[in-house]
């Protein structure tokens, strides 16, 4: 029997929102398969970074998508790159000789092995492109839930749309994105699977991430979005139980990151200006520091001298709202600026990386929906809304469940696992070689052929840095040759609650 893999993604779904009342179908899958109870995202825990990690099986230091937005200093003058812009991503890939991602993607690996990939996603153009940035040149199926210009191959997608109808427009912020999720589910069940039977399908729902950002993690609108996507997944699960499982389909359900709740707005630009820097959100002739917008702090200095780096870091450390700070490594642990940690510790040191990464200070406060995790923020939205990108454990916590003939049923694994492990596991199930750029591992503990005696020990690591009273702590785990982030915070105790 031929093996194939179907991954259904729920963007931004916190695992602690999964339960019998809100997500009965995900609970049904858990009963059928194996739940990865300690599954985590990568840093930065932003969607397009995580998508790149999902499809390359690698962390940002390997694949190079080091933020939803970044400054490209490989060209002069430097340019601001917003990875939401799919056309720009394709242009960068073309002009760089195919090096938009500096690690081999799932689409490339499958094409080399003579196998097929289909992507169906209702996210932004850029996020959809990050799931298979070479879909057009590789001739692989890509269907957006909203954008006709993302469709490829044109004839295949035109045939799909004849049966499922026109794509719905993108929704207004604050309105749950429901129609697109239904369309993608129908497209897979009625057309993509019966006519094309891809070796791997990535079917990614943009909810509840969209609603979490604009309504709040536990808001009624977000709960409605969660329930709707779960119901659409229920259609997939019903098909799988009747037909897909018997056809060798290995079914994965996953999310890319969690969310925490914004509680107090601050200004990074004000802190940097008070230290004497001329700031902007994009490079310019009279700009000293580019502050990349987003919940992940990223600062690019025009002149990243030792003195300027120290001055910028001190300005951040002097605030109440700055959390962990990472700079280029002076060694494997310490950043080049005293009191900072090395970017390599969070697997984020790449030629495109900013001079200073930082997280907004987070805590374990409970929001008005009863959900743990809060943070300072710097954007034009109101407090009480969902954010992600940093290193709070609730931002990193991700859903992962796998079921099928290769997986143990009705089981749970407490071993650490992460987003980069999914691609090598899929390739292993298909008998397809994994690229050498992969940093994730095959999730062998979930496979029917693995016995408990083969499971090794997990190593917990903790790192600290301190300067002038500013203390930061990072925790990681290591297992099976892979490294996983448990969280990072400002302070010396291994708990965000001390904030």
Q: Cα separation of 252 and 373, whole Å?
A: 27
Question: Tokens 């090395």 map to which residue?
Answer: 342
Nearest CA to 305 among 337, 282, 279? Answer: 337
What is the Cα–Cα distance from 143 to 158, expressed in whole angstroms?
10
Mean pLDDT in residue range 227-253: 98
Residue 371 has pLDDT above 90, yes or no: yes
Per-residue HEC secondary structure of 278-293 comes to CEECCCCCCCCEEEEC
Tens of pLDDT along 451-499? Answer: 765 677 899 999 999 999 999 999 999 999 999 999 999 997 654 443 4
Query: In whole angstroms, what is the distance from residue 225 CA to residue 153 CA?
Result: 30
- Residue 141: pLDDT over 90: yes
Alpha helices, DSSP H only, in 106-219? 106-112, 125-131, 135-138, 154-164, 179-187, 209-215
Which pLDDT belongs to residue 471?
A: 98
Identify the pLDDT of residue 497.
41
* Euclidean distance between CA atoms 257 and 11, whole angstroms: 7
Quick one: tokens of 407?
């997986």
pLDDT band at 149 (very low <50, low <70, confident <90, very high): very high
Q: What is the tens place of the pLDDT at every residue in 419-428?
A: 999 999 999 9
- Quick one: pLDDT band at residue 1, thresholds 50, 70, 90? confident
Report the candidate in 42, 55, 30 with the shortest Cα–Cα distance to residue 397: 42
What are 295-304's pLDDT values in tens digits? 889 999 999 9
Alpha-carbon span 495 to 477, nearest angstrom: 15
- CA angle (290 as vertex; 124, 359 as ends), nearest 5: 70
**Which contacts (CB < 8 Å, 24+ apart) does range 15-23 have?**
15/39, 15/255, 15/258, 15/397, 15/398, 15/399, 16/371, 16/394, 16/397, 17/208, 17/217, 17/218, 17/226, 18/399, 22/223, 22/226, 22/227, 22/230, 23/226, 23/227, 23/230
User: Which residue in 177, 190, 191 sits closest to 141, CA to CA?
Assistant: 191
Mean pLDDT score, 351-364: 98
**Predicted pLDDT at 499:** 40
pLDDT of residue 454: 63
Whether 388 and 329 have beta carbons less than 8 Å apart is answered as: no
12 pLDDT more than 50? yes
pLDDT band for position 217 (cuts 50, 70, 90): very high
First to last CA, the chain: 54
Backbone angles phi, psi at 147, to 5 degrees: -120, 115
- Which alpha helices (DSSP H) does 275-362 contain, by range? 306-317
pLDDT digits (tens, 9 = 90+) for 127-140: 999 999 999 999 99
Q: How confident is the model at residue 252, as a pLDDT?
A: 99
What confidence tens digit (pLDDT) does each residue in 255-307 have? 999 999 999 999 999 999 999 999 999 999 999 999 998 888 999 999 999 99
For the chain, domains (ranges, CATH) are: 4-260+392-446 (3.40.720.10), 262-367+372-381+460-498 (no CATH)
Beta partners for residue 222, in sequence order: none
E-assigned strand segments in 193-337: 200-205, 249-254, 260-265, 279-280, 289-292, 296-301, 322-327
Whether residue 279 is preceded by a cis peptide bond, meaning omega within 30 degrees of 0, is: no
Measure the CA–CA gap between 446 and 434, rounded to whole angstroms.
18
Categorize the per-residue pLDDT at 85 as very low, low, confident or very high, splitting at 50, 70 and 90.
Answer: very high
Q: Return the DSSP state at 447.
A: B
pLDDT at 152 > cutoff 60: yes
Q: How far apart are CA 287 and CA 291, in angstroms?
A: 10
> For strand 482-490 and strand 470-479, is the pairing parallel, antiparallel, or unpaired?
antiparallel
Residue 254 reports pLDDT greater than 90: yes
Residue 450's pLDDT is what? 74
Q: CA-to-CA distance for 485 and 419, rounded, in angstroms?
A: 11
């Amino acid at each position: 029997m031929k093996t194939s893999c179907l991954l259904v993604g729920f963007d931004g779904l916190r695992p602690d929102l999964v339960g019998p009342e809100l997500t009965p179908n995900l609970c049904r899958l858990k009963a059928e398969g194996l739940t990865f109870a300690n599954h985590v995202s990568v840093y930065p825990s932003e969607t397009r970074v995580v998508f790149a990690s999902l499809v390359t099986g690698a962390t940002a230091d390997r694949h190079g998508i080091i933020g939803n937005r970044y400054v490209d200093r490989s060209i002069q003058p430097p340019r601001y790159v917003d990875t939401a812009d799919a056309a720009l991503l394709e242009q960068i890939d073309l002009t760089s000789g195919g090096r938009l991602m500096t690690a081999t993607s799932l689409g490339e690996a499958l094409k080399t092995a003579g196998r097929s990939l289909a992507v169906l996603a209702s996210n932004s153009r850029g996020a959809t492109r990050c799931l298979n940035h070479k879909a057009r040149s590789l001739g692989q199926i890509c269907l957006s839930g909203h954008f006709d210009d993302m469709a490829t191959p044109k004839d295949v997608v035109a045939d799909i749309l004849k049966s499922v109808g026109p794509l719905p427009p993108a929704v207004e912020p604050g309105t749950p994105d429901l129609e697109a999720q239904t369309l993608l589910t129908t497209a897979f069940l009625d057309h993509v699977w019966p006519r094309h039977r891809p070796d791997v399908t990535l079917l990614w729902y943009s909810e509840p991430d969209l609603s979490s950002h604009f309504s709040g993690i536990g808001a009624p609108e977000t709960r409605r979005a969660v329930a709707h996507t779960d119901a659409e997944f229920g259609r997939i699960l019903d098909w799988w139980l009747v037909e897909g499982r018997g056809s060798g389909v290995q079914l994965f359900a996953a999310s890319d990151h969690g969310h925490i709740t914004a509680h107090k707005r601050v200004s990074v630009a004000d802190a940097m200006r008070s230290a004497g820097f001329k700031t902007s959100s994009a490079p310019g002739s009279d700009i000293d520091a580019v502050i990349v917008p987003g919940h992940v702090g990223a600062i690019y200095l025009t002149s990243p001298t030792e003195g300027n780096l120290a001055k910028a870091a001190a300005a951040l450390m002097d605030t109440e709202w700055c959390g962990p700070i990472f700079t280029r490594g002076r060694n494997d642990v310490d950043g080049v600026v005293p009191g900072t940690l090395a970017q390599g510790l969070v697997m984020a040191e790449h030629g495109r990386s900013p001079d200073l990464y930082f997280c907004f200070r987070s805590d374990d406060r409970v929001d008005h929906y009863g959900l743990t995790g809060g943070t300072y923020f710097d954007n034009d939205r109101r407090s009480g809304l969902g954010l992600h990108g940093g290193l709070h454990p609730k931002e990193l916590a991700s859903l992962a469940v796998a079921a099928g003939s290769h997986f143990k049923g009705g089981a749970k694994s407490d071993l650490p696992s992460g987003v980069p492990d999914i691609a090598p596991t899929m390739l292993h199930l298909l008998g397809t070689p994994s690229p050498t750029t992969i940093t994730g591992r095959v999730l062998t503990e979930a496979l029917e052929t693995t016995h408990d005696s083969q499971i090794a020990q997990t190593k917990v690591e903790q790192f600290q840095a301190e300067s002038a009273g500013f203390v930061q702590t990072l925790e990681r785990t290591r297992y099976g040759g892979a490294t996983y982030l448990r969280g990072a915070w400002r302070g010396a105790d291994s708990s965000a609650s001390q904030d």
